[in-house]
Structure 1
């Protein structure tokens, strides 16, 4: 792929592809203080908040990765960002395939069934769009990095659990990328400003919070915390290795 010179912002902008991984799953902005519920008692905190609170250290560690630091200060090479985006596309397509498989499996809870269908339809629409935009027939020609391959394998493992745990597995992506975008100091003059602007607009609780709380009595919270933290670490590893 042609190298984009650092001293050519116009050319660099033509190569910069906005980030795909999570923007299709969130739709409305939220206040900055949503990130922690530490002011609440453990009895009153929703599972949605508890999962995040127990893993926020990973989110803060992600902000310190070299990839995001260079993105913020404008020194990130375009090729590195493009490779990152290709891995995004691979993730998107593969998670879409898993959601499709889940959507046709039996599910006794109507709201969980609807959640899976909604997530599948959203991911599928976006996957079709990005593949068409970048003239890709599918993601088969993209070789996954070790970080992304392990991430997808973890999703495959969660497929063996009750479907509510797949919602838990998806949540780190939806929350972390919003958190990262809101805390990145990137100005409008940066070729990576679109990464920030596209990802800092979100309201993931719309999809997850009530669903998790409605089924909290059925959820093994220890298992849910393990899955959530594992996927937060996969997110961190993706940024760290990019």
Structure 2
């Protein structure tokens, strides 16, 4: 018969093998993808914004695609909402769909987009969209929630790193303030959902990390899809 001390060691080993004892799934996923946070921070787009040296054409091209990305973000939520039989999850997804319906329509109006299918997405954005739709169509709805967290949590973190409240971003000040708000905590509502799903055994840590990690890589690839920034200081000469 296993003695008490040995039993405790076995339990601790099982916990430590999959993360820190008592650690929430959401925090585990964030820590495990730390290298992608740094890659996003040094990406062409973020550094171009930070240095106020991003070519305005590249800025526009990114944001037109991002508007379509938000449209598909919302569509993937709708797909998952239809598929799930979990009443609480369905209600959560439907509420998020409504808020993102407003968001994508606002972006479409700003960028004069009538039909999202009329916009040719670059491979980075298209692959990211494909990932979200695939998760929504083939996996439990909680995995779709997992796949959506990187976008929601990474952007305010980037805002913290570059001092989004400093007002030092020239023509990009408005965009930075609206999109990289370091005070934004809306991602925590998504994290509560997946933490409960994990605690209930609905989703696994391994599969959640796979889905979450692919979304983080999608963020990095999309940020790097813009060309290298224009020569430092050129904007000062204009």
Instruction: Compute the TM-score of the two structures, normalised by the length of structure 1.
Output: 0.78
Instruction: Tell me the alpha carbon deviations over residues 4-58 of structure 1, each in whole angstroms, 9 at most, x when there is no partner.
Output: xxxxxxxxxxxxxxxxxxxxxxxxxxxxxxxxxxxxx712111111110100111
Q: Which residue of 2 aligns with 1:209?
A: 191
8 Å Cα contact 1:96-1:123 kept in structure 2: yes
Q: Which residue of 2 aligns with 1:114?
A: 91
Q: Is residue 162 of structure 2 the alignment partner of residue 181 of structure 1?
A: no
Instruction: Tell me the alpha carbon deviations over residues 154-207 of structure 1, each in whole angstroms, 9 at most, x when there is no partner.
Output: 112212001000000000100111111221146424111223222223113431
- SS state of the match for residue 112, structure 2? coil
- What does 1:78-157 correspond to in 2, within 5 Å? 78-105=56-83, 107-157=84-134
Please state which structure has a larger fraction of its residues in helix: 2
- Separation in 1, partners of 2:160, 2:147: 22
Q: Which residue of 2 aligns with 1:171?
A: 149
Calculate the aligned-residue CA RMSD, in Å.
1.7
- Separation in 1, partners of 2:44, 2:195: 36
- Separation in 1, partners of 2:195, 2:120: 38
Q: Which of the pair has more CA radius of gyration?
A: 2
**More deviation in 53-62 or 64-73?**
64-73
Q: What is the total number of aligned residue pairs between the two structures?
A: 201
Instruction: Tell me the alpha carbon deviations over residues 73-103 of structure 1, each in whole angstroms, 9 at most, x when there is no partner.
Output: 1111111101110110110112222222332
- Separation in 2, partners of 1:191, 1:56: 30
Q: Which residue of 2 aligns with 1:70?
A: 48
- SS state of the match for residue 21, structure 2? coil
Gaps of 5+ in 2: 1-18, 227-238
Instruction: Compute the TM-score of the two structures, normalised by the length of structure 2.
Output: 0.79
Runs of 4+ in 1 over 4 A off after TM superposition: none
